[in-house]
Amino acid sequence: MERKQPDQDTIRAAVALACRAPSVHNTQPWRWRVGDRTVHLYADRTRTVPATDPTGADLLLGCGAALHHLRIALAGLGWRAIVHRLPNPAEPDHLAAVEFARHVPTEAEVAMAAAIPRRRTDRRHYSSWDVPRAVSYLLEERAAEEGVVLREVTGSRDRFELATVIGQAAAWQDANPAYRWELRRWSGGHAGSDGVPAANAPGGAPQHGDLRLREFPGGELVDLLPEEGEEDGAALLVLGTSSDDRLSVLRAGEALSAVLLEATGAGLASCPLSQPFEVVTTRDRFRDEVLDGALWPQILVRVGWAAFGADPLPPTPRRAVHEVVEELEKS
């Protein structure tokens, strides 16, 4: 007889893969409540970084990415996730309730599920090779499937605006002692600790052409310097939504996961960049000057080919499943 619900080992395997999702400073701001017929996703407010993420958008993006990881993991294991987003208005931290139905995974779902344990946030410079246009179209399609618009930031004017807002956001945050404390709290550790490990962050503030990345203190990652005259060929992709409510931000996190997993499956390196949109004034400037006020920018993604000879990145630490999962009473 065909089983109508996944067993607990299947659910735990899917949740473990979901917890490989990216999150700001690798805070992993999620909790799961698991029953015999449902999985519930909650925001974990003990993992907030209010100086970095004063609006809570980064937290929602990370939880959205974890939700999509769960959907893809379940699909790869033969189950379709039936998702009810923000199911309880009286409980705002209850972000999703997930039910299950039997499902034959598509080739794309299998490929994305296989990409989950291989995905890394690569903050190093990339090679000068361009991202193939066919892959760019596919990334746009994956975002659109989640109800989110993906646009590449191209042209000297828009690149200048992006570099400007990144620099302004970094300067504003760096002037805030609470922000600097948060970075130290979540940076520079070694395997087994929370946050961004020293082995996954370059020393200093990475500068790739006109693009500055966030500096994580204590970084020890070696970044091979590009040859003279070689430009960083990364594509800069912004994920935007027509609205800016909590559901839109959560869906943007799901789109972020889809884009990152598709890029990983294509052999590309990737790095989410939330800093320019963590400061209201720089986010508004980007929206007005680059997106013509038509979309709300949620997160930027840097995608490209890893530099030739770059060492593989180690996986960043994750909390043990038993630390993030609560078992519900069985019916």
pLDDT confidence tier of residue 178, bands split at 50, 70 and 90: very high
Out of 205-214, 246-255, 281-290, pick the least confident: 205-214
Looking at residue 208, its pLDDT comes to 87
pLDDT confidence tier of residue 282, bands split at 50, 70 and 90: very high
Helix axis angle for 246-265 and 57-76, nearest 10°, is 50
Sort strands 196-197 and 149-152 into parallel, antiparallel or unpaired.
unpaired
Question: Does residue 1 carry a pLDDT above 50?
Answer: no
pLDDT confidence tier of residue 191, bands split at 50, 70 and 90: low
* Structural domain of 96: 8-116+317-327
Distance between terminal CA atoms of the chain?
21
Is position 309 within any domain? no
Is position 265 within any domain? yes
Is position 22 within any domain? yes
Is position 232 within any domain? yes
Number of domains in the chain: 2
Are residue 271 and residue 148 in the same domain, yes or no? Answer: yes
Are residue 78 and residue 173 in the same domain, yes or no? Answer: no
DSSP H helical ranges for the chain: 8-18, 57-76, 107-115, 133-145, 156-174, 177-185, 246-265, 280-289, 321-324
Are residue 178 and residue 216 in the same domain, yes or no? Answer: yes
Residue 201: count other Cβ atoms within 10 Å of its Cβ.
Answer: 26
Opening angle at CA 306, ends 29 and 125, nearest 5: 80
CA–CA distances in Å: residue 250 to residues 170, 257, 281: 24, 11, 22
Per-residue pLDDT reduced to its tens digit, 47-101: 999 999 999 999 999 999 999 999 999 999 999 999 999 999 999 999 999 999 9
Question: Does residue 210 carry a pLDDT above 90?
Answer: no
Question: Could you say which DSSP state residue 47 is in?
Answer: G
Are residue 222 and residue 283 in the same domain, yes or no? Answer: yes
Residue 164: count other Cβ atoms within 10 Å of its Cβ.
Answer: 16
Percent of the chain with pLDDT over 70: 96
Average pLDDT over residues 244-255: 98
Is position 122 within any domain? no
Provide the CATH number for the domain around residue 28.
3.40.109.10
pLDDT confidence tier of residue 290, bands split at 50, 70 and 90: very high
Looking at every residue in the chain, the average pLDDT score rounds to: 94
Are residue 189 and residue 300 in the same domain, yes or no? Answer: yes
Is position 20 within any domain? yes
DSSP for 188-200, please give it: EE-TTSSSEEGGG
Are residue 154 and residue 59 in the same domain, yes or no? Answer: no
Contacts of 301 (CB under 8 A, 6+ apart): 236, 237, 238, 239, 256, 259, 260, 263, 270, 271, 272, 273
